Amino acid sequence: MMSAVLRRMLLIGLLGLSVAGVQAEVLVESAWVREVPPVSEHSAAYMRLVNTGEQERRLVAAETSGFSRVEIHESIERDGVARMEHRDAIVIPPGGEAILQPGGYHLMLMRRTGEAPRAGDDIQLELVFADGERMTVMAEVSRHGPDGEAGEHHHDHDRDGHGHGH
């Protein structure tokens, strides 16, 4: 079996190539999904998106087979209350990066459709960009992420179970 580190290194190398063999403009690093209790229907995915190109890139959607819905969210604090708000896109500036992390932007994985993913499992995510490009990313399920930090995850989900109307 291939180790998780080797899989990540291989994936990062493969993401650097497009179908045409041209260097990809967006690289994905340190992708992970939060392990949650088996009774939970939701989780979150985090990663670092690096834009090596000269044009702004916009992540507008994501999909995964283990959850029926994925939304882009941002954790914010308003009037002393931490909550998550739906966002239409995450902008990755030319030559810059976007960090999806606990307490900030993240992909909210909602309405689990199968067994709860456990630490060490891999989840395939399909990232969708505004220009129609799709990128497949493997994210390891972890309790604490690649740096061992649990981060914040207790937020008000609009008080109605993520009913953002989107």
For residue range 89-117, list pLDDT tens digits in order.
Answer: 999 999 999 999 999 999 999 999 988 99
Domain contains 117: yes
Which backbone phi and psi does 57 adopt, to 5 degrees? Answer: -115, 145
**Cα–Cα distance between 66 and 37 in angstroms, integer?**
15
Say whether pTM exceeds 0.85. no
pLDDT for position 144: 81
Could you tell me if residue 147 is inside a domain?
no
* Residue 45 · residue 67 · CB < 8 Å: no
Q: Does residue 10 form part of some domain?
A: yes
Number of domains composing the chain: 1
| pLDDT in the model for residue 153 | 39
Range of the domain at 26: 4-142
Q: Is residue 74 part of a domain?
A: yes
CATH code, domain with 34? 2.60.40.1890
pLDDT at 15 over 70: no
In-domain check, residue 150: no
